[in-house]
Structure 1
Amino acid sequence: MIQATPTGVHESGDACIELRRLHRFFGKTKAVNDISFSVARGHVYGYIGPNGAGKTTSMRILATLDLPSYGDAYVDGFSVVNDPELVRGRLGFMPDSFGTYRDVNCQEYLDFFARAYGLIGRQRKQRLDWVLDFTGTQGMAEKPIRGLSKGMKQRLCLGRALIHDPAVMILDEPAAGLDPRARIQLRQMIRELADQGKTVLISSHILTELAEMCDSVGIIEQGKLLATGSVEEIERQQAHTRELVIRILANEDHSEVSVADVLRNRPEVDNLVVDGELIRFAFAGDVQDQAALVAMLVNQGFQVAEVTSRKKSLEDVFLHVTEGLVQ
């Protein structure tokens, strides 16, 4: 049974995308299990999770291609349950796989969707010209789609999603299969769309790119949202945010008490591993705490020869938060 809310604009502050206790069940499988988050207007939100986590199901509900079992979602203030037609006019959806018509050219393809959205006359021509220019496909406007590379087809699909000037963009794995240059160019286009005020929800398995591109991220596994916020906020939520490797020279003055003994007694140190002169461990602290730790070791007479510090990446956080479970 679908829980509906009153038809009309939903007041949600500055949020342009909002999921409110969203559920989607397929028999006993809880593809989406009580997910709630919001994305502010003009922000890019990265949706991260293993295959089968529920990302695409959530996106299909936002795109009005599926209905929730319970809960609701809002796009630019309108309910996907009660006002799907209004949602579709405000949303551009780029699925992970999309159909193209091999025997039409790029301009004909985009013109077809412009007409489907009700664009006419000068307005339709202006949008066609703008989309071809923005996606870099104007030089291929007359080229049949069957002759396009994977990267150019992705650009064309992005143009299709943009043709009606939506407020919200839903992009499901848009960088899949692209070469490095094409991924960089796609990332630049997405950031430019956000700078124009569009709200973007994007899923990807390329976590380093999401960390550079997104204002905030959400990590989902087995249909449940495990963490959400900016990359920095999620990193701070983890117990140990950086890894330290310290090289200690052998010192006869510390034959009874080793540096490992000293470090094991400190609450900010975890997962300590001794490998000859190298001491490797997870460290809960910032750079000032790191400097204080090294100073303490030096003051106690340990000969610190080298210190290497590595802050946890989004990939590290993802591996820590998730367990690799699928449904």
Structure 2
Amino acid sequence: MSLLEVKGLRRDYGALRAVDDVSFELEAGTILGFIGPNGAGKSTTMRILATLDAPTQGEVLLDGRSLVDAPDQARPLIGYMPDRYGTYDDVTVWEFLDFFARAYGLKGAVRRQRVASVMDFTGLHPLKDKLTSALSKGMKQRVALGRTLLHDPKLLILDEPADGLDPRARIELRELLRALADQGKAVLISSHILTELAEICDTCAIIEQGRLLATGNVAELLARSAGHGAELLVRLAVGAEGDAAYARAERLLLEQPGLDQVTHEAGGLRVRLTLEPGATPAQVDEVAARLLAVLVGAGVPVCAFSHRQLNLEDAFMTVTKGRVA
């Protein structure tokens, strides 16, 4: 049984339906990336899962406990980090975490040991006596994550934790989250940085206008939406040939096997390849080299040729393409 089960979740605000029949599951020890544009319903869903809002309809089970019917029983299992999390002035990092440890009901030596353990895990111990107001954005995010971990929750709900972080801080946060999943915690994380999610998440869920459009790992999302494969970008030195060079190149490419589509863009052609699931970068290189040889052998004036494998951004753009309110 999955640690978290979301079934037919719906949330209405008057005539506005912010979340519409959302269902998914999350197992312990895995990271699920929650993807969607602003206003898609990500934060509303996460607030419901954190028991800070009640659904209009639907059920949420956490370790067999209903978040809807018995939120007080489920809250000790949840660690929630909102997208904007403030810190208090005139308190040190240790005092801040100690205050919340007391709020969670931890006492005496157990509380002190837990605060020290969280500070060690998040790398905050050297800053224990520094005021939280004087910390960098990355360190404040670490403090917020540390507060979320104090009561040792089974489920972590993190809303845009990497927002505004510099590249080093994002890498360090990613390493912390992977370590938490390895400890057996389930992590639900939202982010606009899709490359980050692709590197860390075991599964992803794409939501737009309150509806869940697709779920699965990156490879599955690509297979169901953008398709397995890669993209080539071919630029031509057309000279006097003009559009005739593009037409000839497009015709030659469409005659080759393994092509999904060819589109004419300003300055070149974009070619979508269809490959077998699990195709390696070396196999992509072989296909690209074959197509380049065909173009050059036919006298097409190629002046630039590049290729890349499809990724989570391609899946997201394909799944959400053209959806309007």
Residues 1-327 of structure 1 aligned to structure 2 (within 5 Å): 13=1, 15-240=2-227, 241-245=229-233, 258-264=248-254, 268-273=259-264, 279-286=269-276, 287=279, 291=286, 302=298, 308-323=306-321
Cα offset, 1:232, TM superposition? 0.8
TM-score by length of 2: 0.85
Q: How many residues align?
A: 308
Counting aligned pairs with the same residue, the percent is: 49
Cα offset, 1:289, TM superposition? 8.6
- Structure 2 counterpart of 1:158, which letter? L
Cα offset, 1:77, TM superposition? 2.4
What does the per-residue CA deviation read over 1:258-306, in whole Å, with 9 as the maximum and x for residues that have no partner?
A: 4532443568431333889x65311222456985797699699747988
Cα offset, 1:100, TM superposition? 2.2
- Structure 2 counterpart of 1:313, which letter? N
1:76–1:168 Cα contact (<8 Å) kept: no
42-51 or 286-295, which deviates more: 286-295
- Structure 1 counterpart of 2:232, which letter? L
1:17–1:76 Cα contact (<8 Å) kept: yes
Give the 3-state SS of the residue equivalent to 1:68 in structure 2. coil
2:230–2:284 Cα contact (<8 Å) kept: no
What does the per-residue CA deviation read over 1:60-87, in whole Å, with 9 as the maximum and x for residues that have no partner?
A: 0000000000001122322111121121
Q: Distance in 2 between matches of 1:136 and 1:236?
A: 39
- Structure 1 counterpart of 2:211, which letter? K
- Structure 2 counterpart of 1:311, which letter? Q
What does the per-residue CA deviation read over 1:216-253, in whole Å, with 9 as the maximum and x for residues that have no partner?
A: 11111100011110011101112544213468999xxx
Gaps of 5+ in 1: 1-12
1:48–1:55 Cα contact (<8 Å) kept: yes
Change (3 A) 1:33 1:188: same
Q: Distance in 2 between matches of 1:50 and 1:293?
A: 33
- Structure 2 counterpart of 1:260, which letter? E
Cα offset, 1:147, TM superposition? 1.4
2:253–2:291 Cα contact (<8 Å) kept: no
Cα offset, 1:176, TM superposition? 0.9
Cα offset, 1:32, TM superposition? 0.5
TM-score by length of 1: 0.84
1:64–1:88 Cα contact (<8 Å) kept: yes
Give the 3-state SS of the residue equivalent to 2:109 in structure 1. helix
Give the 3-state SS of the residue equivalent to 1:89 in structure 2. helix
Q: Distance in 1 between matches of 2:17 and 2:193?
A: 25
Change (3 A) 1:303 1:24: same
Gaps of 5+ in 2: 239-244
Give the 3-state SS of the residue equivalent to 1:238 in structure 2. helix
Q: Distance in 1 between matches of 2:292 and 2:95?
A: 70
Q: Distance in 1 between matches of 2:237 and 2:143?
A: 59
Structure that is richer in helix per residue: 2
1:62–1:75 Cα contact (<8 Å) kept: no
Change (3 A) 1:76 1:152: same
Q: Distance in 2 between matches of 1:102 and 1:299?
A: 66
- Structure 2 counterpart of 1:321, which letter? V
